[in-house]
A = this chain, B = another copy of it.
Amino acid sequence: MNHTWVTVPVGSPFPLENLPYGVFTPAGGGARVGVAIGAHVLDLAAVLADDTFAHGSLNPFMAQGRARWQEVRAAVVRLLTDEAHRPDVEPHLHRLDAVELGMPFEPADYVDFYASEHHAANIGRMFRPGSDPLTPQWKHLPIGYHGRAGTLVPSGTPVVRPSGQQRPSGEGALPGFGPSVRLDIEAEVGFVVGTPSALGTPVPVDDFREHVFGVTLVNDWSARDIQNWEYVPLGPFLGKSFATSVGHWVVPLEALEEARVAPPAREHELRPYLVEKEDWGLDLTLEVRLNGHLVATLPFAAMYWTPAQMLAHMTVNGASLRTGDFYASGTVSGPGEDQRGSLMELSWGGAEPVELPDGTVRTFLEDGDEVTITATAPGAGGARIGFGPVTGRILPAA
């Protein structure tokens, strides 16, 4: 890849090899689609003279399909590398610290998977002691469920501590009710669908690139006490539905070619609809910070199921896709004790409080706590690309 004429600070998550898409509002302007480069965002509607980008959502562009996504990426690379374009383009670069960033896409349906073996086994041990930590189907299909699309919020949105029922303290007692005292995070990776599909027609696993536009980070805030009391037999509901934070930047799949890796070895023969020709494991490294302190480093390459397998599974029954459908990986956890993507796991259900370098300890989140998730991945030509943070601070219960 060529060199860009834009000054990209050393260590920026947004070198030329990345070019993630987001929605920004410049001072005195309307929300529109931009591409991040270094410390700037490029106003696409202006430089491409295309109204598709003059919206507060990526959906109109994502709906145009993969050929158009490639064409636009190539055009942006040309504009940012050829000095001849600089005089026309430079006026449409806005400093990131001078614009407001928003929700990058308009969500249709939201599905959350459970694709980390280490996370599923950890949670199984804590929620269902005495049973096998993994349920019998776990290595035959990527388990998932629908979440609440209406409470997907962009990074930076404060999270009000939810209230709800909690398991009764003893036989015959009424359930507890009040603010959650086991408020947690789940560090995840999310996939945004661009190209829709027809009802009744499964999407083949090898068509992943045709449908998925890009990747962003997710914090699936979880109230463990509410979840633990409600979730049998129909799954998590209010323990998750109060807020799910989504990153401002959607990294296009094309920027992640160098990050593709084989997923872990399969323990069973897979049904053909889950067998990939291409490897769609992704070698992303996530970092979780609590009040600024690094508390976990998470290897996304350790996920048992790939996003291509998730997509194939989600549609194998003929369920259709819409532009804006969003699905997340589930908590990313690795085998190590500092590779766990939730406080539930890091503090082992509260039994082993996490000590922070400033001397404070945490089992679950306290009011005022701020959690930030970032990630990096190998990009083209040896570059390191980043996802931009997904962050949120806990407000006291209403």
Contact = CB atoms under 8 A, between A and B. Distances in A.
Interface of A: 108-111, 114, 124, 127-128, 135-137, 140-141, 143-151, 153, 160, 162-165, 167-168, 174-175, 177, 199-202, 223, 226, 229-239, 241-243, 268-269, 271, 273, 313-314, 316-322, 325, 395, 398
26 contacts: A109-B149, A109-B150, A111-B237, A124-B233, A127-B233, A135-B232, A140-B174, A141-B175, A143-B233, A143-B237, A145-B236, A146-B147, A146-B237, A146-B241, A160-B318, A162-B317, A163-B316, A174-B271, A175-B271, A177-B273, A201-B398, A231-B233, A233-B235, A238-B316, A238-B317, A242-B318
A160 B108 CA distance: 22
Contacts of A163: 202, 316-318
Given A143-B234, A146-B147, A317 B109 contact: no
A146 B143 contact: no
A261 to B, nearest CB: 26
A110 B237 CA distance: 12
Given A145-B234, A160-B199, 6 more contacts: A114-B234, A145-B235, A146-B147, A151-B319, A200-B395, A235-B236
Contact of A141 (B165, B317, B395): B165
Contacts of A199: 151, 153, 160, 243
A130 B235 CA distance: 20
A355 to B, nearest CB: 30
Contacts of A145: 145-146, 234-237
A154 to B, nearest CB: 12
Contact of A234 (B144, B229, B273, B319): B144
Nearest to A319: B241
Interface pairs A-B: 8 shortest CB-CB:
A235-B235, A162-B317, A160-B200, A146-B146, A145-B234, A234-B235, A238-B317, A242-B317
Contact of A319 (B150, B165, B201, B271): B150
A143 B232 CA distance: 9
A111 B110 CA distance: 12
Contacts of A239: 317
Contacts of A149: 108-109, 149
A233 to B, nearest CB: 6
B175 A398 contact: no
A147 to B, nearest CB: 6
B398 A200 contact: yes
A343 to B, nearest CB: 18
A318 B223 CA distance: 12
Contacts of A223: 317
A63 to B, nearest CB: 14
A109 B229 CA distance: 23
